[in-house]
Amino acid sequence: MTKNAKLSLDGKEFEIPTIVGSEQEKALDIARLRADTGYITMDPGYVNTGSTMSAITYLDGEKGILRYRGIPIEQLAEKSTFVETSYLLIYGNLPNKTQLQNFSNLLTNHSMIHEDMKNFFDGYPATAHPMAILSSMVCSLSAYYPESLKVNESFEMQIPRLLSKLRTIAAFSYKKSIGHPIMYPQNHLSYCANFLQMMFSVPAEPYEVDEDMVRALNILLILHADHEQNCSTSTVRLVGSSLANLFASISAGICALWGPLHGGANQAVIEMLEEIHTTGTKCSDFIEKVKDKDSSTRLMGFGHRVYKSYDPRAKILKEMTDVILSKRGISDPLLDLAMEMEETALSDPYFVERNLYPNVDFYSGILYKAMGIPVNMFTVMFAIGRLPGWIAHWKEMVDDPQSKIGRPRQIYTGENIRDYIPLDDRV
Ligand code: ACO
């Protein structure tokens, strides 16, 4: 049974209803707060603010739990594929055989992009960051599918279209950056194998799919597929709340993901490890620097807004990284360095007291590197993985008749009213 909280303010008592979720998470329902009391709440970084009710992902940062539609991430990483997990996130349940086949067929049939869009790639300088290309190209898809602008009428068809094309755009942007001819998708290949083929094959020789790489990619994408109301997902919801089309909303999410405090962290981790390695800095010295607030240096890949214990995704990736490196016979000094860094940090009171543990990005970069994915493509890989989560949240919002346009308030701290002074009279 839900109970009300009591608020005593300006000599009056107010009742604040409470909400309890299916995992007993509790919230104060302040929807009527301003209307009843004249007050708003102030919560920088939205640390205590719930923006929506959602049935997609359950996350308990204290206990290190992550479940998509109720299914633990560990089970999905072990048994599912990225395509199946995407279906689960977007449509709410695991697909039966026919549903999975139909969904797979849709992804296969929509993998090509309009030939005119290939000209866009030529317009970018070779040095362009692939995230810049990815976000612009995704937004541009709305120009090629004008029916997407009527959000409520047509979005179901845009879902497989976008899931399939994002992978093609990502691979094309990589090929462009290294001056290789673009490789088209091949319908006989699975989602992940097709991506690897578009990234790494060349017209001059046959390409053999490496099943270990396909499995590793499936796991990486599954682990990144959703993480409830993070910065990029909240951005997708906020942009979509104005009924902007799916492509525009996802393009905004890609931009939000780009920053080094979010999806850009996997690139930042490798750059940090490379710098430590090439300068011969000792792990312990680097940790001391990180602890010094004046240095404004952070241990990238450590800490998380919601995980205050070991990120369950980092645990799976650490094991997967070991497997792939040993199977491929790669010995990477950066992995040794990462392990040493983790051990040093986790035995240091600074990290222990602040509950700072490795997050998903601490190992994903090393794994991507072992798979031959270049560093500036890491955040693009994150975007491909996160896409079904973004779509699921966007769809959940659009399907909900109670949805409102997102519009936070503020407390104004500027000047009080004052007169305009003509330019000649100003000192
Ligand atoms: N290295 C050193 N100190 C850290 C780190 C870190 N990586 N992360 C947090 N801290 C310290 C802060 O300095 C602060 O210390 P203080 O209490 O003495 O001031 C304390 O821990 C709390 O940090 P906040 O910044 O308040 O924590 P918040 O929840 O706002 O930030 C964040 C989370 C942004 C992820 C942060 O931990 C960070 O910057 N990590 C490095 C970047 C990173 O790996 N990002 C990827 C996140 S995962 C993802 O997006 C998929």
Per residue in 103-134, pLDDT (tens digit) is 999 999 999 999 999 889 889 988 888 999 99
Query: Which own/partner contact pairs does 8-11 have at CB distance under 8 Å and 24+ positions apart?
Result: 9/37, 9/39, 10/37
* Mean pLDDT value of segment 160-178: 94
pLDDT in tens, 58-112: 999 889 899 999 999 999 999 999 999 999 999 999 999 999 999 999 999 999 9
Q: Is 297 in the pocket of ligand 1 (CB under 6 A)?
A: no
User: Looking at ligand 1, which residue's alpha carbon is closest to its atom 36?
Assistant: 303
Among 66, 221, 354, the mutation site with the greatest number of ligand 1 atoms within 8 A of its Cβ is 354
**Residue 1 pLDDT greater than 70, yes or no:** no
**Residue 379 pLDDT greater than 80, yes or no:** yes
**Residue 320 pLDDT greater than 90, yes or no:** no
**Residue 140 pLDDT greater than 90, yes or no:** yes
* Mean pLDDT value of segment 274-282: 94
> Which residue would you say has higher pLDDT here, 183 or 339?
183
Amino acid code (one letter) for 108: T
CB-count exposure of residue 342 (10 Å: 0-12, 13-18, 19+): buried
User: Looking at ligand 1, which residue's alpha carbon is closest to its atom 34?
Assistant: 261
Q: Is 180 in the pocket of ligand 1 (CB under 6 A)?
A: no
**Residue 420 pLDDT greater than 80, yes or no:** yes
Taking the whole predicted model, whether its pTM rises above 0.85 is answered as: yes
Q: Is 361 in the pocket of ligand 1 (CB under 6 A)?
A: yes
Q: Is 354 in the pocket of ligand 1 (CB under 6 A)?
A: yes
Q: What is the mean pLDDT of the chain?
A: 93
* Mean pLDDT value of segment 280-294: 93
CB-count exposure of residue 356 (10 Å: 0-12, 13-18, 19+): buried
User: Looking at ligand 1, which residue's alpha carbon is closest to its atom 3?
Assistant: 298
Q: Is 360 in the pocket of ligand 1 (CB under 6 A)?
A: yes
Task: Report the range of poorest mean pLDDT among 123-132, 158-167, 382-391.
Answer: 123-132
Sign of CA pseudo-dihedral 145, 151, 157, 162: positive
Among 304, 317, 342, the mutation site with the greatest number of ligand 1 atoms within 8 A of its Cβ is 304
* Mean pLDDT value of segment 241-264: 94
Provide the 8-state DSSP code for 45: G
How far apart CA 386 and CA 402 sit, in angstroms, is 25
Q: Is 300 in the pocket of ligand 1 (CB under 6 A)?
A: yes
> Which residue would you say has higher pLDDT here, 26 or 361?
26
d(CA 259, ligand 1 centre) in Å: 14
